[in-house]
Amino acid sequence: PTIGITRVYEQESGILVVTLVPGGPADQAGLRGFVRIQRFRRGNEYFEQRTMDPSNADLITAVDGQPVTTADALLGIIETKTPGTSVDLTVLRDGQVREISVRLGQSD
């Protein structure tokens, strides 16, 4: 199974999400990474601006209640699941703890 997170930074308190698979399970669940996409319109044209903003990123502290501080720990938990099942992520976002449920996808 896949959670759709492509890059993380390991922190003492958890895993900081850097990049997500666009349209992947984590993206669809609303997880946020470093890359911030702003869409705006000028006249009849639409534009996207991508910026790197570490303060925008979610910090994953636990998966299904199990603390995680390394990418290996995250993957170890994900690999025990089957595609289509959900995992509950505990994340720190904007100074607040949130629970986000992610339905796992099929690995390529």
Instruction: Say how many residues make up the chain.
Output: 108
Residue 3: its pLDDT value, please? 98
Q: Which residue has the higher pLDDT, 47 or 108?
A: 47
Instruction: For residue range 41-88, list pLDDT tens digits in order.
Output: 889 998 888 788 888 899 999 999 999 999 999 999 999 999 999 999
Q: How many CB atoms lie within 10 A of CB 51?
A: 10
| Torsion sign across C-alpha atoms 57, 10, 98, 73 | positive
Does the domain spanning 5-103 belong to CATH 2.30.42.10? yes
Residue 74: its pLDDT value, please? 97
The Cα–Cα gap between 104 and 86 comes to 6
Residue 85: its pLDDT value, please? 97
Residue ranges per domain, the chain? 5-103
Q: Which residue has the higher pLDDT, 108 or 70?
A: 70
Residue 81: its pLDDT value, please? 97
